[in-house]
Structure 1
Amino acid sequence: MEEIRKAIEEKDAKKLAALLYYKVDELSDEELEEVLREAEKLALEAEDWELYKLVVYYYHEFLNVDKIGEFEEIAEKKGTFEVRFHLADLYFLIGELEKSLAMYTSLLEEEIAKGNMRHAGEIYYNMALIQEELQDYEKAYELLERAEKTFESLGDSERVMEVKVYKAYVRFEMGEPNVAKAELAKLLPELVGSGNGRLLAEVHLSFEEIFEDGDNYEAALQECLYAMLRAVGTEYYDVAFDALVDVLWQLFLEDDFSTVYNNMDMFAAAFPDLADFFEGVKKLALFKEGRIEEKELTEAIEKVKDRRLLDLLEFLGEAEL
């Protein structure tokens, strides 16, 4: 919350948007309402439509407040690419996929006619997200290939690499996990050399999903570890940590407690600031399997002081098939 308040005080719309993407789940309803009220003022003042999109979405998603009509009025009045692009993305976020696709299609025609290929590349990428959501993976892959060619023509190597990572993941969704793993592995040397922690984390999280889908939880946990390490210092760290919690939840659901307690020490060693939490997870798994008494579990949990981490321990403890 302190980071968010600081971004608001500094009127840093870009920083605030990035924080809201990854930190919104940590806010109480009262905190969220306060943040959204200030963020809305800042977004409209700065005409930062990415931030405004997030404000409208979180009002809709968490507080049941509908400001979509207000966004539509602004888009009609302003008529710029940026405001319409983010309105199309808002439609995607709230599940109005066909409406989003129709707006992107209209924008794409206009931007190509203007020769603005960077905008076209961004539209291709976002349209691929919609087709993936619709489970038309062939179409999603085709759109990503168009995005890749577009960014290549612009010499934007970072965006090209982002598209390639996404393309590999879509190959997995197309039912080709071995091809996906090979394509992801091919990207690793260049990404390691570039030091792009966020994209490296995305690659490892893609591997994690592939291994989890194949019930290879040992490998999935290892990939979560790599993803968290690569994401340290980036906004993607919370995404990587949440992916780990999802794998742990699945393991508790399946009563695979040994895989949990045999792997928590490596996380505690890699992330000493979270050592008490991982020790708590380990003790919870040992208790569930009947290997320790409740008193030992309670003593471990009492060492965890962070409220969010305590809630996660409670969440994992409630997992049942």
Structure 2
Amino acid sequence: MEIEEIKKAIESENIEKVREILPKIIDSATDEELKEILEMVEELAKKTNNIDLYKNVVYYYAEFFGIDKITEFEELAKKAGFEGLLQLADLYALLGFPEKALEVYRDLTKEIEDPEKLGEVYYGMATVHEELQEYEKALELMKKAIEEFRKANNKEKMLQAEIYEAYLTFEAGDKVMAKEKLARLLPETPSGELKAQIHLAFEEIFEDEENYEAAIQECLYAMLEAKGSDFFEVAFDGLIDVIWQLMLEDEFEEIYNNMPMFKAAFPELGDFFEGVRRIALYKDGKIGREEVSEIILKVKDERLVSLLEFLGEAEL
């Protein structure tokens, strides 16, 4: 279904639709199907000069097929100027070349004077240092990004950076300060993706504290805030991570007691959440296998069925 959908989106040059569907088919498509789609998306990205879309294609080629298209991407990125170089640095980081990414960013700090662009460079550098688990350096750079966005009077980007800074504070080991920063930002943040990011940051802190009840609640808030946006998948994945952790720790009651509220909030995913609830009940010895199989048959989305099988450790 999604294969045909993305082909139609490519034919109609609907870039946003292509970007939305492409990550979803990665796990479900066969190698042959994925390669065909990547070739089509690559052609579309070049035709429309969409460097961001092309970066994703190059990454998937390398990640799933070991096909190196970095040199070709480097040439196009350098021709695209500042935005292209940002995408090049991001690609280097994605492919596991952090020093190359930092080199691109450092060169840009010497060339760029515009505060908003400089803020984006510092933000990107902070993400690389985070991946390297150099949290203090990441915090230092994120503070610089916040200051540059403040100079540029870009309140949205400044808020984004402040949320990230609060999360980095948690990663650096100060949970109390991280919660304080996030709580201060919460009332200042308009509903939508940014508020969802705050709730997901809270979720990770609570999960780290093994406060799973609070973590699940934060997932619910994040999903509600992100509903209708691309960030919904990120929030949904956050919930799946918490459920999986609870499965590993045999905390089944926590799962089946909380799934009804997700069914109520997201009726379009009702069968899926009922499936999660029944898997937890089955693992806790409360119901039989047939009751689980019955609900899984009602789930039509193959990706969601795969998730249910994953959560049930393919026992069903």
TM category (shorter chain) comes to over 0.9
For residues 302 and 17 of structure 1, the distance between their equivalents in structure 2, rounded to whole angstroms, comes to 29
Shift of 1:28: 4.2
1:67 to 66, 69, 91: 69
2:153 to 140, 152, 155: 155
Structure of higher RCO (CA pairs closer than 8 Å, 6+ residues apart) = 1
> Match of 1:237, as an amino acid?
F
Alignment of 1:1-321 (within 5 A): 1=2, 4-13=6-15, 16-17=18-19, 19-20=21-22, 24-25=26-27, 27-75=29-77, 78=79, 80-111=81-112, 115-191=113-189, 194-195=190-191, 197-318=192-313
Q: Which runs of 5+ in 1 are unaligned?
A: none
Query: Would you say the 8 A contact 1:253–1:319 is kept in 2?
Result: no
For residues 174 and 316 of structure 1, the distance between their equivalents in structure 2, rounded to whole angstroms, comes to 31
Shift of 1:283: 1.0
Name whichever of 49-58 and 80-89 sits farther off: 80-89
Report runs of 4+ in structure 1 exceeding 4 Å deviation: 21-28
Q: Deviation string for 1:181-204 (max 9, x for gaps)?
A: 11111111121xx33x11111111
Shift of 1:268: 0.8
Shift of 1:15: 5.3
Name whichever of 94-103 and 20-29 sits farther off: 20-29
For residues 314 and 11 of structure 2, the distance between their equivalents in structure 1, rounded to whole angstroms, comes to 41
For residues 304 and 21 of structure 1, the distance between their equivalents in structure 2, rounded to whole angstroms, comes to 20
Look up the SS of the partner of 2:66 in the other structure: coil
Shift of 1:215: 0.4
| TM-score normalised according to structure 2 size | 0.92
Q: Deviation string for 1:162-218 (max 9, x for gaps)?
A: 001100000100111111111111111121xx33x1111111110110000000111
Tell me the percent identity: 53
Look up the SS of the partner of 2:106 in the other structure: helix
How many pairs were matched up? Answer: 313
> Match of 1:233, as an amino acid?
G
- Aligned-pair Cα RMSD in Å: 2.0
Query: Would you say the 8 A contact 1:17–1:50 is kept in 2?
Result: no
Evaluate the alpha carbon distance shift between residue 45 and residue 315 of structure 1 in structure 2; reply closer, same or farther with a 3 A threshold.
Answer: same
> Match of 1:223, as an amino acid?
E
Evaluate the alpha carbon distance shift between residue 308 and residue 17 of structure 1 in structure 2; reply closer, same or farther with a 3 A threshold.
Answer: closer
Q: Deviation string for 1:91-139 (max 9, x for gaps)?
A: 000010011111110122111xxx2322211110000001111111111
Shift of 1:12: 4.0
> Match of 1:56, as an amino acid?
V
Query: Would you say the 8 A contact 1:20–1:54 is kept in 2?
Result: no
> Match of 2:226, as an amino acid?
A
> Match of 2:155, as an amino acid?
S
For residues 164 and 311 of structure 2, the distance between their equivalents in structure 1, rounded to whole angstroms, comes to 30
Query: Would you say the 8 A contact 2:116–2:154 is kept in 1?
Result: no
For residues 75 and 260 of structure 1, the distance between their equivalents in structure 2, rounded to whole angstroms, comes to 46
Look up the SS of the partner of 1:269 in the other structure: helix
For residues 160 and 15 of structure 1, the distance between their equivalents in structure 2, rounded to whole angstroms, comes to 28
Evaluate the alpha carbon distance shift between residue 319 and residue 153 of structure 1 in structure 2; reply closer, same or farther with a 3 A threshold.
Answer: farther
